[in-house]
Structure 1
Amino acid sequence: MSATSMSATPAASDRHSSSSGLLFLSTLVAALGGLLFGFDTAVISGTTEALEVQFELSSGALGFTVATALVGTILGSISVGRPADAWGRRAILSLTAILFTVSAIGSALAPEWYSFMLFRFIGGIGVGAASVVSPMYIAEISPARLRGRLVAVTQFNIVLGILLAFFSNYLIAQAGFGETAWRWMFGVETVPAVAFGVLLWLVPRSPRWLMTKGHDSEAREVLARLGRDDVERELREIRESIDLEHHQLEEPFFGRNYRKPILLAVAIAAFNQLSGINAVLYYAPAIFKMAGAGTDQALLQAVAVGGTNLLFTMIAMAIIDSFGRRRLMLIGSLGYILSLGATAGAFYAYGAEFQAATQAADALENVEQRIAEPPSEAASQDGVPLERATREAEAEARAAFAAAAEEAQGGSRIVLIGLIAFIASHAFSQGAVIWVFISEIFPNRVRARGLALGSFTHWAMAALISWTFPKIAEWSGGHIFAFYALMMFVQLIWVLAVMPETKGVPLEEIQKRLGIR
């Protein structure tokens, strides 16, 4: 071997390492949109009781308040496609960072209900836009052999954001902020939002978007920097798939040519929410409290849900490109059915015990709030010193709650195990697959609009379910979980009969298999 060739090898290795580093850096930065998506989605779960008190909300008004952000996600997801095509994926991600920052600060400082809902709506627009553009950008910079794993980094960051929100809520609740704790829960989102906006300056623009704008030389440079083995071949395949001479970017989207991917995207997005996942994420502490847990215990159990979500997302990410999207969906569907069925059964069997424990927990919280209030001018209550009376009332309420919680303990454990199994099933299947699958099944020329449609369907269903969940759960108890289990049985049939496998298939080949001209 010559000295020249020996010296060239380390240089080539360094270039490859640098290229791989840029690919993974770009993936991680874009996926921060997913982390903010997850944090913003779950942070409200720890504030629902405080919001009810602060703004004097009924259960129906609370559901509407929670759904306000989801209405924003609908607008953000359905309207982001054309701007993403016009201005680029990176530019839109920068805009979402601004929206998240404004929402976090505004929600934390909101003086009344209407301004609070406005700032939550603004954050929802950011969530909807990020849910479309983050996986789109990652799919367009990734080689086919790594695409599933890299796009799934968005889902990993979503569940990491959810876990961080649950954990942050628990820590803030324990920190003694009192009546302002809920404001701190929203305000801490400012830190990752600002970091996201700054880090986006370090990543390149999407090569596929650059090609649609005729910037072939910059696209070539970006692909080379990302470490592609055959840049010219990939450029040629992208150019053929865009096929601007025969398919203008303004061609009708809802036509016969794209019917199959449209139906696939709408179906998987609708099933994602018909599992009840967002109801569980938004109301996890409230559900655990319905099942007999105290407030602090309910917040801690929500952290366990977030940790399970993260663990099983990591497992799914590790195997999605070898195991396949369809097989993950099959296993997850079975897990959904069993876990939701068990949760519904617990509410049927222990309904009376759960109700008694919830009432006892509310009574205990009322007594504790009275103790925390400044002493009034009255020195006694029915001839008994006020401090002594309240301490005795607290002891009685605590004993009553302990007795009621013990009666409900068996059912509470079933609900906790059932929901943890439910979250594991979701993370291992739908959670890891949905954004990968939707980003793969549409051709380059309409991918932005296809992802926008899938995201719109996802968030419209999320808004509907989250808005109605408090009222329906209050009225029906376990029936709501039985309904979700039934929907997952329908999903199982859809996966078996309709869903195609896309693992390891180049984006340009997938459109041929779906019959797209």
Structure 2
Amino acid sequence: MAKEQYISPSKASGPNSNTRTEPFVKVIAAVATLGGLLFGYDTGVISGALLFMGDELHLTPFTTGLVTSSLLFGAAFGALASGHFAAAAGRKKIILILAIIFAIGGTGSALAPDVNWMIFFRLVLGVAVGGAAATVPVYIAEIAPANKRGQLVTLQELMIVSGQMLAYISNAGFNHMWGGENTWRWMLAVATIPAVLLWFGMMFMPDTPRWYAMKGRLADARRVLERTRAKEDVEWELTEIEETLEEPRDLGKPSLRDLTTPWLFKLFLIGIGVAVIQQLTGVNTIMYYAPTMLTAVGMSNDSALVATIANGVISVLMTFVGIWLLGKIGRRTMVKIGQFGCTACLFFIGAVSYLMPETINGQPDVLRGYMVLLGMLMFLSFQQGALSPVTWLLLSEIFPTRLRGIFMGGAVFAMWIANFMISLAFPILLAAVGLSGAFFIFGLIGIAGAIFVMKCIPETRNRSLEQIEHYLHDWLSDDKETRHIATAIKQKA
């Protein structure tokens, strides 16, 4: 592969362009990322609901873990299924189906009469959460112009953390207004509103030009490009899409059998690594169990619920910082900042909870609780300001167009399985080794993640999706000459 192939074309929609984004692209991104809002709300709301549903549903530490993690288990298979069907049915149709599943799961969990039904409907909800996690970033990445792809895909992360913040505010608000044993049902029921909005909104959105082109529907692809690109850029981008899709056209229907191709197998493993290290920081133990942890270090239920709102606020503010940084620095640099910062904060939380006394004069040490909260906020600054936004962006970029849906589904499946195992084990781990021991373990895992980041994360900034595909093919190729060229380009980037 000649080096010249990696030079961005001097077109208005090229990766280095300053052309304004067409308004319709922003509308598409805003509607599609309602899936991210639902993702965030449904994963975050359980943190407060657990404080109130325990007596009514007779929860134990094990069933508490099941109620929380059942959504994550369902999400793993939702990601896998949506990745498979998105290639056949289209990104838009999958998001429409997911909106219906969101509504069913949210309503069912709010009305659950016992723990078994709660776990079942949380599984259903998880299918939608995982499907949205796998499909929405791909949908936006494929429909966005190359020069705005980073910022638009990262809107998904902004909506996720906004959904979590909304959940924390909702939890505290319902508790303040009504309290009582049925508060948790209202907390869970609110999620049906954005699900309905997502379904109605997506009815009027197009599918992506790359999916249309993959299906041979070039006229439809052109129509979408004409609505989302500057007029002079339509031909250039359509030609690039056609040429890139033409190369593997004789390989037939995309499937996991493509993993027998060595460079694709390596790329898939890198994608899994990118997805999993985000979870191995333990971020979702903070997002799901923050009130539980804060009450464990001396805060009251009311104080813990209000304090948890700070987690949501910091997450939203730092995601804005992450969106800004993605326009200034490379993806690889962002991952390194996030991974190293998160790992340091994990050791800080572990040290605070280990070294500070649990009680002073027979009373819980309130300062200890606020120092743990400070550690959480610092951790979330690195996680949401760097690691999480760039994770979703990289996953939407690095896979070839023909296999993007399937590979994205597989990587997000691995992410949710890791999330499921951590969330299921955390209440048990907390009981066994305490808060300090749990976070020291996450810190050690974070060091291993940092080694992976240094060795395996590619740089994809300032390239179109098609240029990234060619670059990664050469970088991961067994051919020494092409790999040498791609490695040199990677180091220069």
Using structure 1 for the length normalisation, give the TM-score: 0.85
Give 1:49 deviation, angstroms.
2.6
Q: Give 1:254's match in structure 2, choosing from 240, 255, 259.
A: 259
CA deviation string 1:452-494 (max 9, x = no partner): 0111011000000000100101111111101111122222222
Q: Give 1:513's match in structure 2, choosing from 459, 463, 471.
A: 471
Give 1:351 deviation, angstroms.
5.6
Q: Using the alignment, how far apart are the partners of 1:426 and 1:327 within structure 2?
A: 14
- Written as runs of structure 1 = structure 2, the 5 A alignment for 1:442-461 is 442-461=399-418
Q: Percent identity?
A: 33
Report what 1:365 is aligned to: none
Instruction: Give the SS at the match of 2:461.
Output: coil
Answer yes or no: is the 8 Å Cα contact 1:70–1:463 preserved in 2.
yes
Q: Using the alignment, how far apart are the partners of 2:74 and 2:451 within structure 1?
A: 32
Report what 2:482 is aligned to: none
Q: Using the alignment, how far apart are the partners of 1:151 and 1:189 within structure 2?
A: 22
Report what 1:404 is aligned to: 363
Q: Using the alignment, how far apart are the partners of 1:512 and 1:422 within structure 2?
A: 36
Q: Across the two proteins, how many residue pairs are aligned to each other?
A: 452
Q: Give 1:343's match in structure 2, choosing from 339, 349, 355.
A: 349
Give 1:222 deviation, angstroms.
0.6
Q: Using the alignment, how far apart are the partners of 1:245 and 1:495 within structure 2?
A: 33
Determine whether 1:286 maps to 2:292: yes
AA at the equivalent of 1:209: W
Provide structure 2 residue ranges, at least 5 long, that are not aligned to the other structure: 1-18, 478-493
Report what 1:42 is aligned to: 44
Answer yes or no: is the 8 Å Cα contact 2:103–2:192 preserved in 1.
yes
Instruction: Give the SS at the match of 1:515.
Output: helix
Determine whether 1:423 maps to 2:426: no
Q: Using the alignment, how far apart are the partners of 2:83 and 2:373 within structure 1?
A: 39
Q: Give 1:500's match in structure 2, choosing from 443, 449, 458.
A: 458
Report what 1:235 is aligned to: 238
Provide structure 1 residue ranges, at least 5 long, that are not aligned to the other structure: 1-15, 357-399
Q: Using the alignment, how far apart are the partners of 2:288 and 2:33 within structure 1?
A: 21
Answer yes or no: is the 8 Å Cα contact 2:145–2:229 preserved in 1.
no
Answer yes or no: is the 8 Å Cα contact 1:101–1:193 preserved in 2.
yes
CA deviation string 1:235-279 (max 9, x = no partner): 121112222533323352322130232121111111111100111
Determine whether 1:24 maps to 2:26: yes
Instruction: Give the SS at the match of 1:202.
Output: coil
AA at the equivalent of 1:149: Q
Instruction: Give the SS at the match of 1:178.
Output: coil
AA at the equivalent of 2:202: L
Answer yes or no: is the 8 Å Cα contact 2:106–2:192 preserved in 1.
yes
Answer yes or no: is the 8 Å Cα contact 1:321–1:503 preserved in 2.
no
CA deviation string 1:13-40 (max 9, x = no partner): xxx98x7110000011111111100111
Report what 2:217 is aligned to: 215
CA deviation string 1:281-325 (max 9, x = no partner): 110100111111110110011100010011101111112032111
Using structure 2 for the length normalisation, give the TM-score: 0.89
Larger Rg: 1
AA at the equivalent of 2:142: E
- Written as runs of structure 1 = structure 2, the 5 A alignment for 1:380-395 is none
Q: Using the alignment, how far apart are the partners of 1:62 and 1:171 within structure 2?
A: 23
Report what 1:162 is aligned to: 164
Give 1:177 deviation, angstroms.
4.2
Determine whether 1:441 maps to 2:445: no
Instruction: Give the SS at the match of 1:151.
Output: helix
Alpha carbons of 1:434 and 1:78: their partners in 2 closer, same or farther (altered >3 Å)? same
Instruction: Give the SS at the match of 1:47.
Output: helix
Instruction: Give the SS at the match of 1:501.
Output: coil
Answer yes or no: is the 8 Å Cα contact 1:322–1:503 preserved in 2.
no
AA at the equivalent of 1:37: F
Instruction: Give the SS at the match of 2:250.
Output: coil
Answer yes or no: is the 8 Å Cα contact 2:281–2:343 preserved in 1.
no
AA at the equivalent of 1:299: L
AA at the equivalent of 1:126: A
Determine whether 1:491 maps to 2:449: yes
Report what 1:395 is aligned to: none
Deviates more, 1:440-449 or 1:168-177: 168-177
Report what 1:108 is aligned to: 110
AA at the equivalent of 1:447: R
Instruction: Give the SS at the match of 1:500.
Output: coil
